Amino acid sequence: MLSIFVGLTLIAFYFHITNGVFDMTIQEVLKTFLRIDPNDKHDLVIFEFRLPRIVIAALVGIGLGIAGTVIQGVTRNGLADPGILGINAGAGASIVIFMFFFQMSASNFVEDGWYTIFLMPLFGFVGGALAASIIFIFSWKNGILDMQRLILTGIAIGSGFGALSLYVSLKMNASDYEMAAVWISGSIYNANWAFVLSILPWVLILSSVIYRKSHLLDYLQLEDANVKSLGISVEKEKSILLLCSIGLVSACVSVSGGIGFIGLMAPHIAKRLVGIKHRFVVPMSAAIGMFLLVLSDYIAKTVFEPSELPVGIVVSIIGIPYFLYLLIKTKA
């Protein structure tokens, strides 16, 4: 199944890199990659515009898919998702504030912007961790994490941080506001290699930590007392897994804005395909998230060509019906 979804992603990659305002043949793409009779126009289209965008989509899909698996596993709630729980909104608000103050003190940063790009995931992590902390404090009842309170609190906190993002963005000048508004809705159309380098360490390191601890997510489906009887430090392991997932979400939000539903759909599809053991579910969720986001970004780029939709809107069009289906199924 992993090979099938990697293959599907490669097919989406083929369509993404060859189609757009400037169409290219596969021969032209291969010649450009292999440096056979290089063409400046082809180099610009592939290496400056399309390839970094596809790589960002793949990395963000992997990060959100894995983060969604962890959050659903730790909370034992199949409807939990970084977007629904407000973590996306918290990280997004923090980065919008960062954008606002960076604009006000541009002289403090290097001219090419690399310094600020690498700082953005750290600011996102602070906002995501703050949102998650508030949500979990209000969801804790009699020493137990109340799932109903978790969802309701997440929606409320997400709305609050969303309003904060909008308020700060309205304080920006017109051009910066337009950029922030598109970014908040979820967009990777302005991706470049600096964004790839800023997110890559976060995805590689945190995904590796989560995969090494993925067997613990199986135990965490039991009651806490039963898990403690196995000699597992429940609160410590939950904290490590949640911090890793918040780090992944924050890094993803810093380069792509608020893209929801990938973290909800990918784990569910993975469990249907490979079962409930998390050492299989985690890499499968990563592959499914990668495929969904690369495909969604291709649709966002081409459906209203030459205009583009934010990829977050395309994912939401797919994700909202799926969320309602899961809600009805869970209620039944």
DSSP 47: I
> Per-residue pLDDT for 176 more than 80?
no
pLDDT band at 60; cut points 50, 70, 90: very high
Question: Which residue, among 262, 114, 124, has the nearest Cα to 196 in the 3D structure?
Answer: 114
> Per-residue pLDDT for 112 more than 60?
no
DSSP 22: S
Q: Round to whole Å and give the CA distance between 241 and 62.
A: 16
pLDDT band at 298; cut points 50, 70, 90: very high
Question: Which residue, among 131, 98, 91, has the nearest Cα to 117 in the 3D structure?
Answer: 98
Amino acid in the structure at residue 267: P
- Report the pLDDT value the prediction gives residue 325, as an integer from 0 to 100: 83
> Which residues, including other chains, have CB under 8 Å from residue 191's CB and lie 6 or more apart?
52, 53, 55, 56, 57, 255
> Per-residue pLDDT for 31 more than 60?
yes
**Which value, to the nearest 10 degrees, does the dihedral of the CA atoms of residues 56, 60, 61, 65 take?**
160
- Mean pLDDT, rounded, of the chain: 87
> Per-residue pLDDT for 58 more than 80?
yes
- Report the pLDDT value the prediction gives residue 307, as an integer from 0 to 100: 79
- Report the pLDDT value the prediction gives residue 267, as an integer from 0 to 100: 94
- Report the pLDDT value the prediction gives residue 323, as an integer from 0 to 100: 80
Structure tokens at 155: 């929606």
Question: Which residue, among 220, 215, 186, 203, has the nearest Cα to 67 in the 3D structure?
Answer: 203
Structure-model confidence comparison of residues 76 and 116, the more confident one: 76
pTM value is 0.90
Structure tokens at 173: 């000048």
For the segment 230-244, the average pLDDT, to the nearest whole number, is 89
Helix or strand run (H / E) with residue 145: strand 144-145
H, E, C per residue of 51-104: HHHHHHHHHHHHHHHHHHHHHHHHHCCCCCCCCCCCHHHHHHHHHHHHHHHHHH
Q: Which domains does the chain have, with CATH numbers?
A: 2-331 (1.10.3470.10)
pLDDT band at 147; cut points 50, 70, 90: low
Task: Look at 134-138, 196-200, 323-327 and tell me which has the smallest mean pLDDT.
Answer: 323-327
**Which residue blocks in 144-233 are alpha helix, DSSP H?**
147-170, 174-184, 193-212, 214-219, 224-229
For the segment 203-209, the average pLDDT, to the nearest whole number, is 96
pLDDT band at 178; cut points 50, 70, 90: confident
Please write the tens of the pLDDT for every residue from 251-282: 999 888 888 889 999 999 999 999 999 999 99
Task: Look at 3-17, 77-91, 99-113, 134-148 and tell me which has the smallest mean pLDDT.
Answer: 99-113
DSSP output for 106-120: GGGS-TTSHHHHHHH
Residues in the chain, total: 332
For the segment 106-120, the average pLDDT, to the nearest whole number, is 59
- Report the pLDDT value the prediction gives residue 289, as an integer from 0 to 100: 96
pLDDT band at 331; cut points 50, 70, 90: low
The answer to whether the beta carbons of residues 145 and 132 sit under 8 Å apart is no
**Which value, to the nearest 10 degrees, does the dihedral of the CA atoms of residues 264, 268, 270, 275 take?**
150
pLDDT band at 103; cut points 50, 70, 90: low
Task: Look at 34-38, 72-76, 186-190, 233-237 and tell me which has the smallest mean pLDDT.
Answer: 186-190
Question: Which residue, among 13, 15, 8, 167, has the nearest Cα to 93 in the 3D structure?
Answer: 167
> Per-residue pLDDT for 70 more than 60?
yes
- Report the pLDDT value the prediction gives residue 332, as an integer from 0 to 100: 55
- Report the pLDDT value the prediction gives residue 151, as an integer from 0 to 100: 77
pLDDT band at 329; cut points 50, 70, 90: confident
Structure tokens at 259: 């893209």
Sign of CA dihedral 103, 159, 269, 19: negative
